[in-house]
């Protein structure tokens, strides 16, 4: 049986982040994930998790200016010291929150003449993060993001993700596989998950196109969830979609 997490950065946004833990619990979730938890202290989040008897499965290392349209943090050569500081902050949160995985967003490269340098910097930064997180029993994950929503993203396909995994070749580095993003890139998520389940540390989903709840796009979630359940993947599956309406009146497939 699949185990679902509520992504509190996108779901239940009708209320402030601190109140979303209770909302997730009320709607039957036993675990949550947060893209960037840093607006709250780690101790405040811990208190909410304990109060609602929830597990925090995942959060991201800070990505600097990525979401507003910048290159981000994890691949920019001039930002390596800033990246290390972001990892240190994630480690401090992780010691209190004890997630299963921590995600690193590769980011963009606007100057294509520097793409190889950005890709190498990203790999070097992944190695640094692994060394910091592995002693805590936490897997490092990274994800591909489609180039429609985020042009110039340096990792945007399954093949690129596998290339990075193979280059680093560390048991504590896994993929965060986002079904929406790979569907946007016209890939076949069900086939990939069934074939490479052992390389996936976390799965997220939203319907496509639109990135809304299941039933708003073209993905057959009954077939997809059945394929995930039949695969060797045993981790959590994150509901990371933008509800078309109030989160409470949306339904999973």
pLDDT digits (tens, 9 = 90+) for 109-148: 999 999 999 999 999 999 999 999 999 999 999 999 999 9
CATH number, domain of 158, equals: 3.20.20.150
Tens of pLDDT, residue by residue over 5-50, are: 999 999 999 999 999 999 999 999 999 999 999 999 999 999 999 9
Distance CA 106, CA 127 (A): 13
- Provide the H-helix boundaries in 98-235: 115-133, 158-168, 179-184, 189-196, 221-230
Residue-averaged pLDDT of the chain: 97
pLDDT band at 253 (very low <50, low <70, confident <90, very high): very low
pLDDT value for 67 = 96
pLDDT value for 25 = 97
pLDDT band at 248 (very low <50, low <70, confident <90, very high): confident
Active-site residue, from 39, 143, 187, 229: 143
240 is catalytic: yes
Q: How large is the average pLDDT for residues 209-216?
A: 97
Peptide bond into 156 cis (omega under 30): no
* Structural domain boundaries enclosing 238: 3-249
Distance CA 145, CA 1 (A): 27
Which pTM does this prediction carry?
Answer: 0.96
How many separate domains does the chain show? 1
Count Cα neighbours of 135 within 13 Å in the Cβ-side half-sphere: 7
Q: CB–CB of 94/133 below 8 Å?
A: yes
């Amino acid at each position: 049986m699949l185990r679902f997490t509520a992504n509190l950065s996108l779901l239940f946004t009708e209320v402030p982040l601190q109140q979303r833990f209770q909302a997730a619990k009320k709607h039957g979730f036993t675990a949550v994930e947060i893209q960037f938890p840093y607006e709250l202290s780690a101790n405040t989040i811990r208190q909410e998790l304990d109060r609602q008897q929830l597990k925090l499965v995942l959060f991201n290392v800070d990505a600097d200016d990525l979401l507003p349209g910048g290159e981000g943090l994890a691949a920019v050569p001039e930002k390596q010291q800033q990246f290390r500081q972001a990892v240190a902050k994630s480690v401090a949160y992780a010691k209190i929150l004890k997630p299963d995985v921590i995600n690193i967003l590769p980011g963009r490269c606007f100057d294509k003449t520097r793409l190889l340098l950005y890709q190498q910097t990203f790999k070097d930064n992944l190695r640094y993060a692994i060394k910091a997180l592995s002693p805590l029993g936490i897997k490092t994950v990274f994800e591909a993001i489609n180039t429609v929503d985020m042009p110039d993203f340096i990792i945007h396909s399954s093949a690129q993700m596998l290339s990075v995994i193979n280059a680093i070749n560390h048991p504590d580095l896994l993929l965060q596989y986002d079904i929406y993003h790979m569907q946007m890139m016209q890939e076949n998520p069900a086939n990939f998950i069934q074939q490479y389940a052992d390389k996936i540390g976390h799965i997220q989903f939203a319907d496509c196109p639109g990135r809304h709840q299941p039933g708003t796009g073209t993905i057959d979630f009954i077939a997809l969830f059945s394929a995930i359940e039949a695969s060797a993947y045993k981790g959590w599956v994150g509901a990371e979609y933008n509800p078309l309406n109030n989160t409470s009146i949306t339904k999973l497939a």
